[in-house]
Amino acid sequence: MVRNGCVRIAGLACGWLLFVLPALALPAQTEKKVVVLAAAEQRPYIDPDLPRQGYAAELVRAAFKKTGYTVELRFYPAARARSLAARGEVDGFLPVTADTGLTDNFLLSAPFPGANVGLLMKRGLAVRYSPDAPKRRGEALYALREYRFGMVRGTALAPELETADYLSRDYVATDLQNLDKLARGRIDLMVVDKYAASDLMILNRPHFIGAFEFLNPPLFPQRFSCGLLASRGTPQGIEDEF
């Protein structure tokens, strides 16, 4: 159901991307027709094992195709995808989420529907979480300061989380590692996309189904963008398109 829903909104979101991507895809100093992007694996939205590599991949390919360009995706964990793009080893990366630090080095497309990132916990854990928590993220996180948070390296979610130095965090390379740690009691709260967590359990840990609870509504709802290196050169006036 999740994948079908993503496909249905791809057509709408493609129009938003096309507002800016035709110019982004035409570096002034080169005639190349291939754009190489480092893609951060993020099921069920983008992953090499998904049909057509997922909704986000299909959307970006369609947008670039309108300009006569093809997209080559190279999949990596989130931290490595961003690092490769920052070093100029690829033309850009996706999906880019909320991170104001990127604006100096990357040109970002218009946003399109993204993830539903929040907190996953073991059933029975007495956590205070209000329905308006996403509107008061700083307060919500401070109220959870006694718990151990599990996160994936290289992800950028919200300033309130990045600057919350009072939180205990444990970083790993993949969501599956964190899911295992949550099951073993090595962390209390896992920062993860709601549907990615379900996907992981169905495909990799079916014996975990029913053992966890997702705190609704998601604390960090996200929108995705495609980011291209500004240093590669862009047509004059592209900044005005944003």
| pLDDT tens profile 193-232 | 999 999 999 999 999 999 999 999 999 998 898 888 877 6
What does the pLDDT look like over 31-72, one tens digit per residue?
A: 658 889 999 888 889 999 999 999 999 999 988 888 788 899
Structural domains of the chain ordered from first start:
2-114+222-241 (3.40.190.10), 115-221 (3.40.190.10)
| pTM of the shown model | 0.70
Residues 6+ apart with CB under 8 A from 44: 2, 3, 6, 50, 54, 55, 195, 196, 199
Give the pLDDT band of residue 236 (cuts 50, 70, 90).
very low
Q: Contact, 162 vs 202, CB < 8 A?
A: no
Residue 232, pLDDT score: 64
Q: Which of 124, 55, 147 is nearest to 94 (CA)?
A: 55
- pLDDT tens digits, 162-176: 889 999 999 998 899
